[in-house]
Amino acid sequence: MTDYLTRLFIDGSWQDADSGETFAVLNPADGSELARVADADARDMTRAIDGAERAQIGWAATPALERSRILRRAAEIGRADIDRLARVMTAEHGKPIAQSIGELNYGFDFIDWFAEEARRTYGTTVPSTGPDKRIVAIRQAAGVSVAITPWNFPSLQILRKLGAALAAGCSMVVKPAALTPISALEIGRFFAEAGLPDGVLQIVLSSRASRVSATIMADSRVRVLSFTGSTEVGKILMREGAATMKRLALELGGHAPFIVFDDADVEHALDQLVAVKMRNMGQTCVSANRIFVQRSIAPEFTRRLVERLSSMKVGFGHEDGVEVGPLIEAAAVAKVEAHVADAVAGGAGVATGGKRPEHSALANGHFYEPTVLTGVTDDMLVARDETFGPVAPIFEFDTEEEVVARANNSPYGLAAYFFTRDVNRVVRVSESLQYGTVGANDGSISAVQAPFGGVKESGIGREGGHWGMEEYLDTKYISLAGL
């Protein structure tokens, strides 16, 4: 039996919930119970915010170089332990080990990036109106911050927010998803070992998300909330945040179009599509959800996509060669099944997959076969709602103008991809797509130095690059007079 971390991380120590209650963490590949972890309620959350507030001033006053060193040390300690951390993640999430390692490395890269940015929170001086005055603008830590994160990238979603917050001088309370809490606790372990002062990072697990988040949102000491999750919950938090005028950074749902024009490099487009569709079993907010293929190349493109997806190995994430693990929980499989059933009822064809794997070894896990749907139309569920699973629906189109309009016909605006060799079209379509992130001949848009985020109902704010720091910094104008 592996020794998993199971308790809340508050004020630098591992603590039980006040109530003594716990909840179970399950392995989605076989349904087994991995551990029972502390289940916080409002009292524990208040205790965590108390500690974060106590730690805040000292951390903001710590020289940037020292904050930077601690961040870098944490990333180093994490990297040295990456194989074990990846096994923990695969056990509670299901993703193939190679993807767990990839996610962790990407998360550590964020910590390194923000360790550098910590040293570059520059202020400005502006020419004043008279010789006896100076105008100075400084950047200061915004105060106590909170991260509420989802299960799809159990470490990355936290590290990306935490790196920026700590670099800016903010303390942070993390409320991770209840489905993947152990990877979150591991972050507490390596930051503590790196010398992060007690209380600067608090990790509070809870199965009662709305109850503990109501405590967070009502507390005026919390100045910044960074949330990644559904648009539905993002809207609730935005309403609740109004009471204390919190600054909100919201990374919400997406419904990414992936457009392949008839002049595209098809082989390259296929490589990118398979990666961006199947990574994390399709459970990402930037997954290709609506695959628009120009009519003349659609049959050939579909045939080659089917060839690739049908040969992917489905199974337990810790086994060699597995490319597709289980979905996170039974409800996720049920949603995929509902989307596929709706498409089929509307006349779509199933070119491959369309069901759970029949292998008996996989019977207790939440597995679903990589699936390609053909003849999909804009009135089907897959065209409107995030599937969050390994389903590739193919929509055919005739003209550029038509496909751009159809791609933009969504309340979401997170990521979009298109493939063409026409340089003029690259510029036109990049500028016309109403999305926060556009991949022009690119499906691999993740980069620590880039501004990632959405428009429309996909959210507010940007993570990554120097933009990522903005959420955690206030600008203070100091008017110096009488000189």
List residues binding ligand ADP (CB under 6 A).
Answer: 148-150, 175, 177-178, 209-210, 213, 229-230, 233, 236
Parallel/antiparallel/unpaired status of strands 459-460 and 247-251: antiparallel
Largest CA distance in the chain: 82
Half-sphere exposure of 239 (CA within 13 A, CB side): 6
Question: In the bound complex, what is the minimum distance in angstroms from residue 14's beta carbon to ligand ADP?
Answer: 20
Q: Which is nearer to ligand ADP, 112 or 186 (CB)?
A: 186
Using CB positions, name the residue nearest to ligand ADP.
Answer: 229
Query: How many Å apart are CA 436 and CA 131, to the nearest integer?
Result: 44
Question: In the bound complex, what is the minimum distance in angstroms from residue 250's beta carbon to ligand ADP?
Answer: 10
Provide the token pair at 124: 């400005």
Q: Which is nearer to ligand ADP, 194 or 222 (CB)?
A: 222
Q: Which is nearer to ligand ADP, 148 or 309 (CB)?
A: 148
Active site (annotated) includes residue 251: yes
**418 SS3 class:** strand
Question: In the bound complex, what is the minimum distance in angstroms from residue 387's beta carbon to ligand ADP?
Answer: 12
Query: Which is catalytic among the residues 103, 186, 251, 457?
Result: 251
Q: Which is nearer to ligand ADP, 146 or 264 (CB)?
A: 146
Question: In the bound complex, what is the minimum distance in angstroms from residue 374's beta carbon to ligand ADP?
Answer: 28
> What is the DSSP secondary structure assignment for residue 155, as one 8-state letter?
T
Strand partners, 251: 228, 459
Q: Which is nearer to ligand ADP, 74 or 217 (CB)?
A: 217
Active site (annotated) includes residue 285: yes
Question: In the bound complex, what is the minimum distance in angstroms from residue 149's beta carbon to ligand ADP?
Answer: 6
Query: How many Å apart are CA 363 and CA 442, to the nearest integer?
Result: 36
Question: In the bound complex, what is the minimum distance in angstroms from residue 9's beta carbon to ligand ADP?
Answer: 16
What angle (nearest 5°) sits at the alpha carbon of residue 139, between those of residues 138 and 141?
A: 140
In 323-465, alpha helices (H) = 330-345, 381-384, 400-408, 423-432
Query: Which is catalytic among the residues 103, 117, 285, 457?
Result: 285
For residue 247, what is the enclosing H or E element?
Answer: strand 247-251
How many residues does this entry show for the chain? 483
Q: Which is nearer to ligand ADP, 41 or 112 (CB)?
A: 41
Query: How many Å apart are CA 65 and CA 76, to the nearest integer?
Result: 16
- CA proximity to 175, closest of 134, 231, 233: 233
Question: In the bound complex, what is the minimum distance in angstroms from residue 223's beta carbon to ligand ADP?
Answer: 18
**Backbone φ, ψ for residue 10 (5° rounding):** -130, 130
In 15-141, alpha helices (H) = 42-61, 64-80, 82-93, 97-117
- CA proximity to 205, closest of 55, 25, 11: 25
Parallel/antiparallel/unpaired status of strands 415-419 and 124-126: unpaired
Q: Which is nearer to ligand ADP, 177 or 404 (CB)?
A: 177
Query: How many Å apart are CA 38 and CA 35, to the nearest integer?
Result: 10
Which residues are the active-site residues?
A: 251, 285
